[in-house]
Amino acid sequence: MMVDFYGLRIAAENPPRIERGHAFEERRENWLQPMNHNHLRITRILRSIHLLGLEDWARAFFEALQDVFEKESSRISQTTFEFWNRAEKGVR
């Protein structure tokens, strides 16, 4: 559900792969803004997925976010991206 909220989609399940979905351009306005509260929510999602032992899914979500960050870096701070990177690895 949250993947869809962010305009992403599950492209494959084994191994998991997440990518931009058809609604990305529309949905990105919900969260791709500097200092948006969804950035913290994404950190918690990544950390939760990792804590549940679903490291492959955490990695797939992070890789999709990394792609977004590389193309939309003016909308996501480097600090936010570093939080996401650490959360995906389970580092506090």
pLDDT tens sequence across 57-90: 999 999 999 999 999 989 999 999 999 999 999 8
Residue reference for tokens 């999709």: 64
Residue 56: name the closest of 10, 4, 2 by CA: 10
Cα first-last separation, the chain: 25
The CA distance from 77 to 63, in Å, is: 16
Burial of 49 from C-beta contacts in 10 A (0-12 / 13-18 / 19+): buried
pTM: 0.94
Q: What average pLDDT does the chain have?
A: 95
